[in-house]
Amino acid sequence: MCPKERNPGIELLVRSTTDHVVAVDLGLGRDQFTLVAFYFPPSIDQSTLVRELAGVFDSLQSRSILLAGDANVRSPLWGPTIPDHRHHDDGGPFVEFIFVRTLHVWNDPASLPTFETERAQGWIDVTLSSPSLFHRRSHWTVHRTSMSDHNFITFSLVGSHAEDALPSPPRFTKRRLLRFARAAEAYFKDNAHLLHFKEAVGGLDYWLGELSSGGFCILWHWAALPT
């Protein structure tokens, strides 16, 4: 990715480089954001790679951050549900990283596979952003190519940070609201037993705090996925 070659007006400053993560500040006039590119080799434990990415992400000062990379894991957050896929393909630590930092997924789960060979295909390349950039997302698309086993991904970043536009709240159709209600019912059914151990007011407040920052956030993002 060489933005300077495509547009010499873009200012680029390298913020951080590690074995598997690179972060750069990009600026065009008053519009600025940080781009984080990453690669998770399948030969390295995912938790180790996520800690590396989190270390870079948490060191950044920008509130406008775009992340793109090969995560080498599957999840219904960025790809279709595959009932028979291997459990170690799940995006566990990476998904937790996304939710804890309230990142938004740009991928369309109904897109073409981002990885494709004669024998296999997968949705393992992920585009994410901080909330302040998500409303500028436009035309995220996967393009099939015969030049690589990873298909091209293109997208547009519309508007500008200088406009200081606020993201609009998600709009839910009746189908998405029903989906959220069913997910919420299942979540509370699975976790209701925890309330039996929260007799003290402080313990109950802690459980509610954990729900607000974790479980409910996951349900909200799940309901907001394209259907």
The reply to whether 217 falls in a domain is no
Supply the pLDDT for residue 9. 79
Question: Is residue 5 assigned to a domain?
Answer: no
State the pLDDT at residue 216.
46
What CATH code is carried by the domain that includes residue 100? 3.60.10.10
Residue 100 lies in a domain: yes
pLDDT of residue 119: 85
- Give pLDDT, residue 166: 46
d(CA 34, CA 18) in angstroms, rounded, equals 16
Number of domains in the chain: 1
Q: What is the pLDDT of residue 146?
A: 67
Range(s) of the domain holding residue 72: 10-158+171-212
pLDDT of amino acid 196: 54
Q: Determine, yes or no, domain membership for 70.
A: yes
| Strand positions, DSSP E, the chain | 11-17, 21-28, 31-39, 65-70, 104-105, 115-116, 121-122, 125-129, 137-143, 152-157
Q: β-strand 137-143 against 152-157: which pairing, if any?
A: antiparallel
Per-residue confidence (pLDDT) for residue 95, from 0 to 100: 94
195 in any annotated domain: yes
Global confidence as pTM = 0.67
The DSSP 8-state label assigned to residue 77 in this structure reads T
Report if residue 224 sits inside a domain.
Answer: no
Residue 71: its pLDDT value, please?
95
Please indicate, yes or no, if residue 2 is contained in any of the structural domains. no
pLDDT the model gives residue 194: 56
Residue 143 lies in a domain: yes
Phi/psi region, residue 154 (left: phi>0; alpha: psi -120 to 50; beta: rest), is beta
What is the pLDDT, as a whole number, of residue 40?
97
Orientation of helix 92-100 relative to helix 216-223, angle to 10° = 100
Q: Which residues of the chain have pLDDT under 70?
A: 1-7, 83-91, 146, 160-181, 183-227
Q: What is the tally of helices (H) and strands (E) in the chain?
A: 7, 10
